[in-house]
């Protein structure tokens, strides 16, 4: 089995650990739904859907929950899926960066 570029970069940036193994199949789900991994922010982003998933959220939730969040209707505002809600200042900073 060949490793993806994402897997190599995660191993290089974060160091390999068992938890990251659980992210890889979910990463494929996110990529197929149009999400891109942002290495600087350690999040998966879909600008069209206006959704952001933290790696920790992806690691800690099962594929069913992740799929539900991916396809959940949005009200047109940015949706942030983190284990702990980011502060409003962090949300605004991410929105500015993601729109740029």
Q: What is the pLDDT at residue 16?
A: 43
**Beta 79-81 vs 36-38: how paired, if at all?**
unpaired
Task: Estimate to the nearest angstrom the gap between the alpha carbon of 79 and the chain centroid.
Answer: 11
- 9-27 confidence digits (pLDDT tens): 555 554 444 445 556 889 8
Tell me the CA end-to-end span of the chain in Å, nearest whole number: 37
Q: What is the pLDDT at residue 5?
A: 55
- 35-94 confidence digits (pLDDT tens): 999 888 889 999 999 999 999 999 999 999 999 999 999 888 899 999 998 889 888 888
The three state secondary structure string of the chain is CCCCHHHHHHHHHHCCCHHHHHHHHHHHHHHHCCCEEECCCCEEEECCCCEEEEHHHHHHCCHHHHHHHHHCCCCCCCEEECCCCCCHHHHHHHHHHHHC
């Amino acid at each position: 089995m060949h490793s993806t570029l994402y897997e190599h970069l995660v191993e290089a940036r974060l160091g390999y650990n068992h938890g990251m193994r659980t992210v890889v199949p979910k990463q494929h789900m996110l990529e197929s739904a149009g999400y891109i991994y942002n290495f600087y922010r350690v999040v998966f982003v879909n600008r069209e859907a206006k959704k952001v998933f933290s790696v920790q959220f992806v690691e800690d939730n099962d594929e069913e929950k992740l799929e539900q969040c991916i396809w959940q209707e949005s009200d047109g505002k940015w949706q942030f899926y983190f284990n702990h809600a980011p502060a409003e200042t962090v949300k605004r900073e991410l929105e500015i960066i993601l729109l740029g």
